[in-house]
Structure 1
Amino acid sequence: MKNLFKYLSLIFTLLFIWAAYVQYNDPDALLWYAIYGVAAAASLFFYLGKLNFTGAIILSGIYFVGTFILWPDKFEGVTIGNGDIVNIERGRESLGLLIVAMVMLIYALRLRLANKSKV
């Protein structure tokens, strides 16, 4: 089970790097580079055994707060052409933050369970 989480964290490291890369044409690309870059670094730290529970839970909380701040007033999906482009873009951004928040929460829970099993 330990190896499963290690390999998943390596996969998420690559996915978050890819998510940062595809932000190159976004008007606020530097912000999203930082958001996904921190997520990629945290995933790499988890893989290397350097991420602690507190760091993972703080990151999860920050990403959850970001999800709720960016959530559009009216969620219209993520497909362009199905509604107001601003709502769709905010919906996409908030869902991206939600994915990161959930991954960080899974890391935190895994770290907590791993620490309890050592006691």
Structure 2
Amino acid sequence: MGGVRKEKNTKSWLSQIWQVCNVFMSLFFALATYVQINDPDAGLWMVGYGVPAVLCAFIGLNPHVTETLPWRRVADLHVMISGAVVAMLGWRLNKERITEIFHQEEGREFSGLMLTVAWLLLCRHSGRAPVGMLRVSTAAAITVFPFVAWLYYYINEELRLNWPSHCKTAI
């Protein structure tokens, strides 16, 4: 009986961390949506980050939402479109032999969309069964990365010197 209780507590603990990770990713994607207001093609990128923000918020409230048809269809459509844009941007970055991708707008766009695709794929079918240690560990690592990267670039102004003006003024 003690082993069952311990397993149930572990699953509950992992589920709570999973929900917290989704809340933080929702906040990150919402912030990424907000900073697009100065971008020349803001509407496109606001949708690109806004959709995952809403989808993650739903998971934060109810992890089993990933098993509903509307959530899956929206997530799958977003992954499909974002994956196509990621492929095009990746091709362009490779063709132009760009190595410091965070210094190029296309590189930042590529990275941001890759993050949305990876996160939504990680979330897919997460409500089907209790989340496991591997998914939660991966989620925690991915959740920390964009916040640390954003803070790093915010603190080190010299890294943003070559960015276009619309990337420097949102926050």
Tell me which interval the TM-score lies in, with the shorter structure as reference length.
Answer: 0.7 to 0.9
Cross-structure match for 1:84: none
Would you say the 8 A contact 1:76–1:91 is kept in 2? no
Task: Show CA shifts across 1:62-87 (max 9, x none).
Answer: 3222211222233332343xxxxxxx
Would you say the 8 A contact 2:66–2:126 is kept in 1? no
* Letter aligned with residue 28 of structure 1: D
Q: After the TM superposition, list the runs of 4 or more consecutive aligned residues in structure 1 that deviate by more than 6 angstroms.
A: none
Task: Show CA shifts across 1:37-84 (max 9, x none).
Answer: 11101111111223337334443333222211222233332343xxxx
The reply on whether 1:13 has 2:26 as its aligned counterpart is yes
Q: Are the structure 2 counterparts of residues 6 and 96 from structure 1 closer, same or farther at C-alpha, using a change threshold of 3 Å? A: same
Would you say the 8 A contact 2:66–2:125 is kept in 1? no
56, 62, 84: which is aligned to 1:65?
Answer: 84
The reply on whether 1:51 has 2:74 as its aligned counterpart is no
Cross-structure match for 1:77: 100
24, 44, 61: which is aligned to 2:37?
Answer: 24
Which structure's relative contact order is higher, taking Cα pairs within 8 Å and 6+ residues apart?
2
Structure 1: segments with no counterpart, 5+ residues: 81-87
TM-score of the superposition, structure 1-length normalised?
A: 0.77
Identity, % of aligned pairs?
28
Q: Are the structure 2 counterparts of residues 79 and 90 from structure 1 closer, same or farther at C-alpha, using a change threshold of 3 Å? A: closer
- Greater helix percent: which structure? 2
The reply on whether 1:89 has 2:108 as its aligned counterpart is no
Quote the offset at 1:92 in angstroms: 1.2
Structure 2: segments with no counterpart, 5+ residues: 1-13, 132-171
Supply the RMSD in Å over aligned alpha carbons: 2.2
Residues matched between the structures, number: 108
The higher radius of gyration belongs to: 2
